[in-house]
Amino acid sequence: MWKGCAGMDVDYTHGYSCQETDRLHDQASVLTDLLHFDTLFPSGHLVLEAGCGVGSQTRILSRRNPNTRFVAVDISRASVDQAQQCARSLDLKNVRFQVQDINSLSFRSRSFDHVFICFVLEHMADPVKTLVELRRVLKDGGTLTAIEGDHGSAFFHPDSDAARKAIGCKVRIQAEAGGNADIGRQLYPLMVKAGFRDPFVTPRMVHANGGRPDLLEGFTLKTFTAMIEGVKDRAVSGNLIDEKLFDQGIRDLIRTTEPGGTFCYTFFKAQAIR
Amino acid sequence: MWKGCAGMDVDYTHGYSCQETDRLHDQASVLTDLLHFDTLFPSGHLVLEAGCGVGSQTRILSRRNPNTRFVAVDISRASVDQAQQCARSLDLKNVRFQVQDINSLSFRSRSFDHVFICFVLEHMADPVKTLVELRRVLKDGGTLTAIEGDHGSAFFHPDSDAARKAIGCKVRIQAEAGGNADIGRQLYPLMVKAGFRDPFVTPRMVHANGGRPDLLEGFTLKTFTAMIEGVKDRAVSGNLIDEKLFDQGIRDLIRTTEPGGTFCYTFFKAQAIR
């Protein structure tokens, strides 16, 4: 789960208002640019956002494509309500929201010009099944755009076995929940298996170093390290790792944001045609 | 050591002519573009290529910058002789060659407009010392361009512990020889330590998948996997790894080039100012 960065999922229940969250996202615009500089859809086209959550990506889609019509769906009524409320308060006029299971959509086949899905396939037990269903609702010649991270893509200086083991806990916990935190590298074969034509995958690396204090703070520390730290209790109570080793891993990740340190993480963006 | 791809070092003693090697390089032009699309120097400027080896990069520099003057140096007389012979046969008119130790150059301080160094720092026992010497011969305001790989950046699908251990053997063997095969991620702090101003580092990822059979064959198989396979004898005889596990690692790397597989590797390109 990506929180608080580049329009990644944000939990509004912790006292954030939409506007406050929006302001925070603006600070992460570097990452938004990296992932979304080419998320552009033609005027008048109809786009399905599959798995919109509380609408973190929806805001970006809507604003970058003011003349495109979006239908944003999520399986969670609570998330859709939040997303809708937020879109209203930000005056996003080109988005409708619906509660829908993206593995079994109520839309007729060939309804949409494009489908967009971001940070969702990593949580699906059978991502090919999901992609097949998304392909069904695409018009012939329509495109799917998918963005996913890949925790196994993380590497850093100074290197640290403890940090890699702490990251590994997050990967295992997500796998036990039926997901795949290393899914980014698999986007091409997943698209092929789901029947898409001509998938095209581009890696988008975040490379944080002393020349990019914004990324060291906003991405390495407050996004990635915070996310890994978030599984500590489950990792330790589940005997996946010794508490001291986990804590060392977190300290070593923090160390990569200090002078002389560097950090690399890769997102993957795929486009493919029905 | 990078062989046979994107103008990486090639051993001419195995029956290749310069022209034949040149033809092979053309096939790897995707990688050349990835690393060199922005390796451009102004007309009339004087550029030092530090550690030219047998001239694999020199050819690219010379052709992309026909109105720039290059001085290409290497510590090995044999390499310089080959590079010179090759440059002559390819009619490269804007390069002079010299035998020089890049840790102790005979040039006066502030002699060059730019310095270029590629796949060399990974072999230096003290890369900061090398960079300090290169900075010395740069004019005030002159730039250094450095390109390095990073073996720890490799990840792939299907993932394989054996493959990662085989790659680790290459990293250890290079470390025992005084080098650092994971140096790419460190370019920023190394530049800072050497006294350079405003280093700017961009990652350049090779992402091979079924849509890029040229990269699966030319990079994953014939370049990266062949390079790892090249340390097998030393790795096994040095007891770094069990032979069966190493062989399994190589098979698993080959597996990433078959249907459903993917492979990622990142080069880093740094530019900094004296």
Work out how many domains chain B is built from and give that number: 1
Query: Among B140, B124, B177, B137, which residue's Cα sits nearest to residue B49?
Result: B137
CB within 8 Å: A201 and B189: no
CB-based contact (8 Å) between B205 and chain A? yes
pLDDT in tens, A208-233: 999 999 999 999 999 999 999 999 99
What range defines the domain where residue B201 resides? 18-273
**Residue A12 lies inside a defined structural domain of this protein:** no
Return the pLDDT at B31: 84
Cβ atoms of residues A165 and A241 within 8 Å: yes
**Residue A2 lies inside a defined structural domain of this protein:** no
**Residue B51 lies inside a defined structural domain of this protein:** yes
Asked whether residue A264 carries a pLDDT value surpassing 70, the answer given is yes
The model's confidence at residue B219, banded by pLDDT at 50, 70 and 90, is very high
What's the whole-number mean pLDDT along residues B6-30?
54
pLDDT in tens, A6-32: 444 444 444 456 766 665 555 457 788
Half-sphere exposure of B231 (CA within 13 A, CB side): 27
**Residue A240 lies inside a defined structural domain of this protein:** yes
pLDDT in tens, B90-105: 999 999 999 999 999 9
> Which of A34, A157, A255 is most worth mutating to test chain B (most B CB atoms within 10 A of its CB)?
A157
> Which of B34, B200, B201, B207 is most worth mutating to test chain A (most A CB atoms within 10 A of its CB)?
B207
CB-based contact (8 Å) between B101 and chain A? no
CB within 8 Å: A266 and B264: yes
Give the separation between CA A202 and CA A25, rounded to whole angstroms: 23
- Nearest by CB to A157, which of B185, B193, B203? B185
Question: Residue A122 sits in a domain of what CATH number?
Answer: 3.40.50.150
Residue B262: strand pairing partners: B157
CB-based contact (8 Å) between B213 and chain A? no
Return the pLDDT at B79: 96
The length of chain A is 274
Return the pLDDT at B259: 97
Q: Percentage of residues in chain B with pLDDT exceeding 70?
A: 90
What's the whole-number mean pLDDT along residues A162-189?
98
Give the separation between CA B193 and CA B179, rounded to whole angstroms: 18
Instruction: List C-alpha distances in Å: B143 to B50, B183, B193.
Output: 13, 20, 16
CB-based contact (8 Å) between A30 and chain B? no
> Which of B188, B191, B192 is most worth mutating to test chain A (most A CB atoms within 10 A of its CB)?
B188
CB within 8 Å: B189 and A157: yes
- Nearest by CB to B201, which of A201, A207, A260? A207
Query: Among A57, A40, A31, A196, which residue's Cα sits nearest to residue A127?
Result: A196
Long-range Cβ pairs for the range B88-95 (8 Å, 24+): B89/B17, B89/B18, B89/B19, B90/B18, B90/B19, B90/B22, B90/B59, B92/B58, B92/B59, B92/B62, B92/B63, B94/B62, B94/B65, B94/B66, B94/B67, B94/B68, B94/B69, B94/B70, B95/B58, B95/B61, B95/B62, B95/B70, B95/B71
CB within 8 Å: A198 and B192: no
**Residue B91 lies inside a defined structural domain of this protein:** yes
User: Cβ-count burial of B85 within 10 angstroms (0-12 exposed, 13-18 middle, 19+ buried)?
Assistant: middle
The model's confidence at residue B15, banded by pLDDT at 50, 70 and 90, is very low
Comparison of pLDDT for A14 and B246, the residue scoring more: B246
pLDDT in tens, B31-42: 888 999 999 999
Q: How far is B257 from chain A (nearest CA, A)?
A: 12
What's this model's pTM, rounded to 2 decimal places?
A: 0.92
**Residue B149 lies inside a defined structural domain of this protein:** yes
CB-based contact (8 Å) between A155 and chain B? yes
CB-based contact (8 Å) between B209 and chain A? yes
CB-based contact (8 Å) between A16 and chain B? no
Q: Percentage of residues in chain A with pLDDT exceeding 70?
A: 90
- Nearest by CB to A200, which of B199, B211, B268? B211
**Residue B54 lies inside a defined structural domain of this protein:** yes
The model's confidence at residue A3, banded by pLDDT at 50, 70 and 90, is very low
Instruction: List C-alpha distances in Å: B109 to B124, B130, B204, B224, B270.
Output: 21, 14, 32, 38, 22
CA A110 from centre of chain = 25
**Residue A6 lies inside a defined structural domain of this protein:** no
Three-state secondary structure readout of chain A: CCECCCCCECCHHHCCCHHHHHHHHHHCHHHHHHHHCCCCCCCCCEEEEECCCCCHHHHHHHHHCCCCEEEEEECCHHHHHHHHHHHHHCCCCCEEEEECECCECCCCCCCEEEEEEECCHHHCCCHHHHHHHHHHCEEEEEEEEEEECCHHHCEEECCCHHHHHHHHHHHHHHHHCCCCCCHHHHHHHHHHHCCCEEEEEEEEEEEECCCCHHHHHHHHHHHHHHHHHCCHHHHHHCCCCCHHHHHHHHHHHHHCCCCCCEEEEEEEEEEEEC
How many residue pairs bridge chain A and chain B with CB atoms within 8 Å of each other? 84
CB-based contact (8 Å) between B201 and chain A? yes
Return the pLDDT at B16: 53
CB-based contact (8 Å) between B195 and chain A? no
Return the pLDDT at B30: 75
